[in-house]
Amino acid sequence: MTPSQGSPRNPTPDRSSDERPRLREVAEAAGVSVITASRCLSNPDRVSEKTRTRVLKVAAELGYIPNRVASGLVSSRTMVIGVVVPTIANPIHSVLLEAFNAQIETQGYRTLLATTSYDAAKEADAVRTLLAYKVDALALAGKVQSADAVRLLSVARVPVVEMFELHDAPVDLNVGLSNFDAGAALARYLLTRGRRAIAYITHSGIDDSRMAARFAGFQETAGAQPDVRLMEFTDSAPPGRLRESAISAILSRFPDVDAIVCSGHQAAVSAIRILTDQGIDIPGRIAVSGFGDSPASCWVRPSLTTVAYPMAEIGAAAGKMLLARLGGEPLPKTQVDLGFEIIERTST
């Protein structure tokens, strides 16, 4: 019983009880070649309307879902962008990530995530894995820390954007602000208001150049005033948290302290709570301020004076810059400063 239509040279292999249709099944059902079916889905213009509608109809009926792994392999465009953040739980990063992701989703890209826990070795690892997935671009929160990661990124032929921190030697694109300047600005602000005995709380055990830059800027400005005493205190809690013991240490070792600056986000809000619970007058005896704004900063009483960062704008701008690069559009600037703003509230 030879089929009168001629036996196909490439008979469909047996896929009984297998999952989803592939493009080939769609093409066969629509009576076109695989490539025509492919074009109907990705280059609709290059196909006559008649075949296009027929193929699309068949594809819908069969519940066809394209295999992006296969198309990624052959076209070397995966439509995936890798994102590296220290942690998602920190609101500053989740806001950044949300804005970035929303931006790239508009063009059909998806975010492949990797976290570093503020660890430079894990950062290099994250970059390596994301590159292994052949991401079309890469976005990183903060200046790239590890030399390995820098090396990997510079030989990789993908656009890279470092978000949040502006610095001198970006791998490629760079959008954010100068944490050094932010630190300096906050120092000036406190000095102008007469504060002279300043405790500055940083966090230990993490690779975070933003924190270091903030302190450097603060130190430089504060150090220029001869009558200012600046003491750095290190807390081992993760950024965003603060141990009561850190505050106790300050009060005992620096009794005439008149200002506390917290480098970690949210840490300043904790500091306000701890100090007010001890009956210490803010800002009468001690002014408190920090970096990074959040709803909690204005809810807390006294409300927090802080250096606000435009994280959502940074994420969106980073997404747009990458999309422009991926679309082959020229970029007017590869480094964009979105600045910061000191929000004066009642804690200083």
Partner DNA sequence: CTGTTAGCGCGTTCAA
Partner DNA sequence: TTGAACGCGCTAACAG
- Cα 273 → chain centroid: 29
Q: Are 170 and 182 in contact (CB under 8 A)?
A: no
Cα 348 to Cα 289: distance, rounded to the nearest angstrom:
7
Q: What is the DSSP letter of 45?
A: G
Of 175, 177, 138, nearest to 155 (Cα)?
138
Token look-up 């295999």 returns 67
Q: Are 46 and 37 in contact (CB under 8 A)?
A: no
| Residue in 106, 133, 147, 248 binding a second copy, rule: CB under 8 A | 133
Which of the listed partners (DNA, a second copy, none) does 196 bind, with a CB threshold of 5 to 8 Å by partner kind? Answer: none
- Cα 1 → chain centroid: 63
Determine if 60 is a binding residue for a second copy (CB under 8 A).
Answer: no
Determine if 34 is a binding residue for a second copy (CB under 8 A).
Answer: no
Cα 87 to Cα 300: distance, rounded to the nearest angstrom:
24
Taking contact as CB under 8 A, which single stretch among the options 7-15, 58-66, 137-145, 283-291 is the one that binds a second copy? Answer: 58-66
In the shown chain, the binding pattern of residues 31 to 60 toward DNA, with x for contact by CB under 7 A and - for none, equals: -xxxxx-xx-xx--xxxx-xxx--------
Taking contact as CB under 8 A, which single stretch among the options 123-131, 186-194, 211-219, 340-348 is the one that binds a second copy? Answer: 123-131
Determine if 24 is a binding residue for DNA (CB under 7 A).
Answer: yes
Cα 131 to Cα 153: distance, rounded to the nearest angstrom:
9
Residue ranges in contact with DNA by CB under 7 A? 9, 13, 22-24, 32-36, 38-39, 41-42, 45-48, 50-52, 66-67, 70-71, 73-75, 77
Residue ranges in contact with a second copy by CB under 8 A? 19-20, 63, 65-70, 72-73, 78, 80, 87-89, 91, 94-95, 97-98, 101-102, 105, 110-115, 128-134, 152, 155-157, 266, 269-270, 273, 295-296, 299-301
